[in-house]
A = this chain, B = another copy of it.
Amino acid sequence: MLVVMEKNITEKKIQAIITAIEKRGYTARTIPVGDRVSIGILHNKNSIEATHFLGLDGVKEVIPVTKPYKLVGREFQKENTLIKVGDAVFGDGSFVVIAGPCAVESEKQILSIAKSVQNAGAKVFRGGAFKPRTSPYSFQGLGKKGLIFLAKVRKETGLPIATEVMDVETFDLVEEYADIIQIGTRNMQNFSLLRRAGNSDKPVLLKRGMSATLQEWLMAAEYIMEQGNTKVILCERGVRTFVRHSRNTLDLSVVPAVKKESHLPIIVDPSHAAGIRDQVISLAHASAALGADGVMIEVHNHPEEALSDGPQSLYPDQFVTAMEKMKAIHAIIGNK
């Protein structure tokens, strides 16, 4: 932490800041940087909160130097975390495709889709049984019945299941059925839910919050890891911006940024970012080219009749073609 003082500050004010720092148990050291005095805070084991010193008399700015996260950091663990689910491994340089409909609608529907995505090369099946919806009047998912259908898909196809959990109350239930537990964008900072996920031994797919910084996202993963669950897969799904030609703005540069900062695997969800089919396909190709550890794509056998997110769901044959291209691109690029 670097406490930058205003110019021409009195010695007395500097002493007051030093006292405030030492009162909290840290060591202070004055440093002339540029044309003003700054005070470095040393010997802090944990990260310090900038807010403790910002707003004190004579302080112009407080600049964090140490990152606030530990367990998720590449500096803490150099090697990639590998997460094995069924035949898939996230983080080992392979490109894992998770596919399936937005919501589980019927047993027949998901079995049909599951078989077709499996044939095309998907390694994990996705489908929502509990659906977070902006409107209380929209279809909210089949709930437990949906989970039972998903279990049947797993039994018939052997594909592991990724499905979303919406709250602590239904966590045990979802945990029982899911192979990968998804935490959605609106819950990225639902800290009670994160802690519960941290006490699970199932892998957690943590979607980025709608306007989360990289640091906040990694801190959310830190909540899970701090409780003991090290199997966290990050998932970029677009952030909210002024842009209107896509539902969200897919922030692909976060993929190399995460890879640099963290050892956790990261995949991309182009479906929710784009909100419209044509863009989804292009962005899926781009995700493969980018060196992500995988993608999660919505596929529906009859998108025009889907109960949710129809226009962003690929037709099965579009998915087949996209899979081939992603595979070919991944062979060129790899990921480390």
Residues of A bordering B, CB below 8 Å = 1-2, 4, 6-7, 20, 29, 31-36, 38, 40-42, 44, 46-47, 49, 51-52, 54-56, 61, 63, 65-66, 68-69, 75, 132-138, 166-169, 186-187, 189-193, 209-211, 213-214, 216, 219, 222-223, 226, 239-246, 249-257, 260, 273-279, 282-283, 285-291, 303-304, 308-312, 325, 328-329, 332-333
Contacts and interface: CB of A to CB of B under 8 A. Distances in A.
Contacts of A56: 304, 311
B242 A240 contact: yes
B190 A211 contact: no
Contacts of A36: 65-66
21 contacts: A2-B2, A29-B31, A51-B309, A55-B303, A55-B311, A56-B304, A137-B226, A166-B191, A167-B192, A169-B192, A186-B189, A186-B190, A242-B242, A246-B257, A252-B252, A253-B273, A253-B274, A256-B279, A256-B283, A282-B290, A286-B289
What number of copies of this chain does the assembly contain? 4
A134 to B, nearest CB: 5
A116 to B, nearest CB: 19
A281 B193 CA distance: 35
Contact of A189 (B49, B132, B222, B310): B132
Nearest to A194: B136
A222 B2 contact: no
Contacts of A66: 34-36
A224 to B, nearest CB: 9
